[in-house]
Structures are given as structure tokens and as C-alpha cells.
């Protein structure tokens, strides 16, 4: 099954109604495969024709509540949204000056600790989200 079909099935199983706007958001996030701002998403493909920013934001909130989307960002800056795909884990670098976000292309140092905590505590569905904050080279230079 494709990622897109998996996402639509998960949305349905989570109680979300399948709408063209929901499909467009999931498609856009899956195709770009990177964190995107609300503005980027609302200007993406059919979403620009489907609905306004408020509707897109409400859908993103619902997707976030259902564990399908992760909200990233520095609180004073624009939020970024990215898909949460089972079996795929990404950690991020976030610039405290310009708010830019980039994925860390290195093994996650917390996976072993997470596994140890899972074994010792008996927690199920344990996960973590790791974000590093600092000044990017463009802002620092």
C-alpha cells in the first residue's frame, strides 16, 4: 500500500472525515517530505483552490491531535508542520533567529535510551521528539 493510501486509511480510522482538503494536505506533506509552514501549505496545489488558511490550520490541528502531524518551531516564529509516519523518525535543527528548520541527517542518539526506558517501565507506544535550537550559519555569519 502506498504512503498516501496508508495516511488516508489512518485518518479514516482516527475518525477524520475524508475531504478534498484533507487529501490535499496529506498529499502536499507527503510529496514535499519536509516541514512546511501554513502559508506554504495553503499555496500548495489544490489547497489554494479548496480552502482558506483558517480551514487548513483547523485540519492541521486535528491531524496533530490524531498523531498524524507534528508541529515544529520556535513559539514566536511561524509553525512548521510535518507528517508523522510510523517507522520514520526525524530530529530537527531550529534557528532561534530566523526560524528556519532542517532535518538532522545523523542517527538519533536517543533511540537506545528510549528502548531502555521502555524495557524498564513497561510503557507502550513510547516515542520522543528531538529538536535542537541555535543560530544557523546564515544568521551567525
Span of 29-38, 73-82, 99-108 with lowest mean pLDDT: 73-82
Write down the pLDDT at residue 75.
61
- Mean pLDDT estimate for the chain: 86
Look up the CATH number of the domain holding residue 122.
Answer: 3.30.1490.190
Contact 55, 20 (CB under 8 A): no
49: domain range?
1-85
Write down the pLDDT at residue 1.
47
The whole-angstrom separation of Cα 20 and Cα 33 is: 20
* Together in a domain, 79 and 99: no
Q: If pLDDT is split at 50, 70 and 90, which confidence band does 87 have? A: confident
Strand order across the 131-134 sheet: 101-103, 92-95, 131-134
**Domains contained in the chain, number:** 2
Alpha helices in 66-130 (DSSP H): 111-121
Look up the CATH number of the domain holding residue 76.
Answer: 1.10.10.10
Amino acid at each position: 500500500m502506498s504512503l498516501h493510501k496508508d495516511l488516508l486509511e489512518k485518518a479514516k480510522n482516527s475518525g477524520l472525515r475524508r475531504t478534498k482538503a484533507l487529501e490535499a494536505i496529506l498529499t502536499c506533506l507527503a510529496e514535499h517530505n519536509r516541514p512546511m509552514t501554513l502559508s506554504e501549505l495553503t499555496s500548495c496545489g489544490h489547497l489554494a483552490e479548496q480552502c482558506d488558511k483558517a480551514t487548513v490550520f483547523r485540519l492541521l490541528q486535528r491531524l496533530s491531535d490524531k498523531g498524524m502531524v507534528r508541529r515544529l518551531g520556535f513559539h514566536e516564529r511561524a509553525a512548521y508542520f510535518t507528517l508523522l509516519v510510523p517507522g520514520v523518525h526525524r530530529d530537527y535543527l531550529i534557528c532561534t533567529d530566523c526560524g528556519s528548520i532542517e532535518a538532522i541527517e545523523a542517527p538519533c542518539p536517543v533511540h537506545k535510551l528510549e528502548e531502555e526506558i521502555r524495557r524498564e517501565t513497561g510503557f507502550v507506544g513510547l516515542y520522543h521528539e528531538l529538536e535542537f535550537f541555535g543560530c544557523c550559519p546564515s544568521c551567525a555569519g
